[in-house]
């Protein structure tokens, strides 16, 4: 009897969890083969966004600008916080779960004896859906690395690398240069590549020349100039856009992400009129990026999970505390550089630690030992992020700030109960 296939998105996702012997397989041959069998091609410009931090924000700004300009845009961004459908947006809205089902089925039919990881199967399904939409632009976010990431089976019209920093070192290497090499794998000969990092490993410029890449690096091909008021300018040899508002996504680093998005759009579509860019920057939203979620006490959600991101979180949080210290709800993966927490310890008076529902997570006991070694004050350990947040709220005063951070699992663990209430 033929095996019955799932008829729900949840069923497909569960099946994909067991589709390959390992969860991560740093090769592209299998994905390339299934992509070819699917006949998966894009007939519109594609921008691929990679990097250590800032990928999701840059995708959101590309999307916001395109929508404000009246362009039809599809986005693949990940991971999700609560619902898988968040990963695939068309026209600014997540697709319906049911719309994804035929594409999971098509990938299953095309793969034959080839096994695919969860990420590979789901990526192919989402890309197939986007390839069949009447769009003007497609934006694809790279997951881990770049060279061997499933998204890299697409030859992008423009590739963006936002930042280079240490993360996933067990797969990408222990140095910024090793990680940069993996990230630069999304570059294509003769095509534009935007580099948003203002201090990248120098070897990246040599690689770009060797590969014949049209490299457009921040500080060289384009730059940001801060205005005297709360504005900035985007400057290239060909144009200057003055009076741009700071992006609605909080943090000084978001201006750099916005500049990279503008450079990428300039490379493949041409920039829309200034009013559309201004409107997009003023209204762009993305869950889990210094997202103010609740008042009295204020709750801030941030998915920061590596040293560079935690430092950016600290820099964004510090001026908003008004001299007070926050309460923290924290949980993270076991493979993270926990020394990065040094930047936040002076800003937090008590830490509520959360268990996360994944075997990759660091235990609260391990986190407590490390935090106490940094001089932090431990409050308690809790079985979930939502339980930790409830405890922090019970302790907080009205003008306190509670910052929930450390992982998509941590932020999603707080958001999920709220969406089900």
pLDDT digits (tens, 9 = 90+) for 179-232: 888 899 999 999 999 999 999 999 999 999 999 999 999 999 999 999 877 899
Counted domains in the chain:
2
Phi-psi region of 48 (alpha: psi -120 to 50; beta: other; left: phi over 0): beta
Q: Whole-angstrom Cα distance, residue 246 to residue 232?
A: 7
- Which CATH number does the domain housing residue 303 bear? 3.90.190.20
Are both 298 and 166 inside the same structural domain? no
Q: Which two tokens stand for residue 396?
A: 């907080």
| Res 338: pLDDT | 76
Q: Which of the four pLDDT bands, split at 50, 70 and 90, describes residue 26? A: confident
Q: Does any domain span residue 2?
A: no
What is the band of 418 on the pLDDT scale with cuts at 50, 70, 90?
low
What CA–CA distance (Å, rounded) separates 226 from 241? Answer: 12
Distance between CA atoms of residues 242 and 258, nearest Å: 14
Q: For position 2, what pLDDT does the model report?
A: 54
3 lies in a domain? Answer: no
Looking at residue 340, what DSSP letter applies?
Answer: G
Q: Is the peptide bond before 79 cis (omega within 30 degrees of 0)?
A: yes
Pick the last residue of a domain from 263, 283, 303: 283
- Regarding pTM above 0.85, the answer is yes
pLDDT tens-digit series, residues 378-395: 999 999 999 999 999 999
Q: What pLDDT, on a 0 to 100 scale, did the predictor assign at position 400?
A: 93
Domain around 384: 291-420
On whether both 47 and 147 belong to a single domain, the answer is yes
Evaluate the omega torsion of the peptide bond into residue 297 and state whether it is cis, within 30 degrees of 0: yes
> Does residue 4 lie in a domain region?
no
pLDDT per residue over 244-294, tens digit each?
Answer: 999 999 988 999 999 999 999 999 999 999 999 999 999 999 999 999 988
pLDDT of 1 above 60: no
Q: Give percent of the chain above pLDDT 70.
A: 97
Residues 320 and 255: their CA atoms lie apart, in Å, by 18
Residues 133 and 208 in one domain: yes
* Shared domain check, 353 and 247: no
- Are 33 and 155 members of one domain? yes
């Amino acid at each position: 009897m033929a095996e019955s296939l799932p008829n729900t998105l949840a069923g497909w996702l569960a099946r994909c969890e067991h589709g390959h012997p390992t969860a991560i397989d740093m090769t592209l041959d299998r994905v390339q083969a299934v992509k070819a069998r699917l006949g998966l091609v894009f007939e519109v410009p594609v921008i691929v966004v990679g990097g250590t931090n800032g990928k999701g924000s840059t995708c959101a700004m590309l999307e916001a600008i395109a929508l404000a300009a009246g362009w039809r845009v599809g986005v693949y961004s990940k991971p999700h916080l609560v619902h898988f459908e968040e990963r695939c947006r068309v026209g600014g809205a997540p697709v319906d779960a049911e719309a994804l089902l035929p594409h999971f089925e098509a990938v299953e039919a095309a793969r034959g004896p080839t096994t695919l990881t969860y990420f590979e199967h789901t990526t192919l399904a989402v890309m197939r859906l986007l390839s069949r939409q009447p769009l003007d632009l497609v934006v694809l976010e790279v997951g881990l690395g770049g060279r061997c990431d499933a998204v890299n089976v697409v030859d992008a019209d423009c590739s963006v690398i936002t930042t280079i920093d240490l993360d996933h070192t067990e797969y990408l290497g222990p140095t910024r240069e090793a990680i940069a090499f993996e990230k630069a794998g999304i570059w294509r000969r003769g095509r534009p590549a935007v580099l948003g990092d203002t201090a990248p490993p120098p070897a990246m410029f040599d690689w770009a020349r060797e590969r014949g890449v049209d490299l457009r690096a921040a500080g060289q091909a384009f730059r940001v100039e801060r205005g005297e008021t709360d504005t900035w300018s985007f400057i290239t040899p060909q144009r200057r856009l003055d009076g741009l508002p700071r992006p609605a996504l909080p943090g000084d680093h978001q201006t750099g992400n916005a500049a990279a998005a503008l450079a990428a759009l300039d490379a493949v579509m041409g920039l829309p009129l200034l009013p559309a860019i201004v409107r997009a920057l003023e209204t762009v939203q993305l869950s889990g990026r210094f997202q103010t979620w609740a008042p009295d006490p204020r709750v801030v959600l941030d998915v920061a999970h590596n040293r560079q991101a935690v430092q950016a979180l600290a820099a964004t949080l510090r001026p908003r505390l008004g001299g007070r210290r926050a309460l923290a709800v924290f949980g993270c993966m076991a493979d993270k550089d926990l020394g990065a927490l040094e930047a936040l310890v002076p800003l937090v008076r008590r830490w509520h630690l959360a268990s996360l529902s994944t075997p990759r997570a660091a235990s609260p006991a391990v986190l407590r030992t490390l935090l106490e070694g940094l001089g932090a004050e431990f409050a308690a350990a809790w079985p979930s992020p939502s339980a930790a947040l409830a405890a922090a709220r019970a302790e907080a005063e009205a003008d306190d700030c509670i910052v929930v951070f450390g992982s998509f699992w941590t932020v999603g663990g707080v958001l999920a109960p709220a969406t089900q209430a």
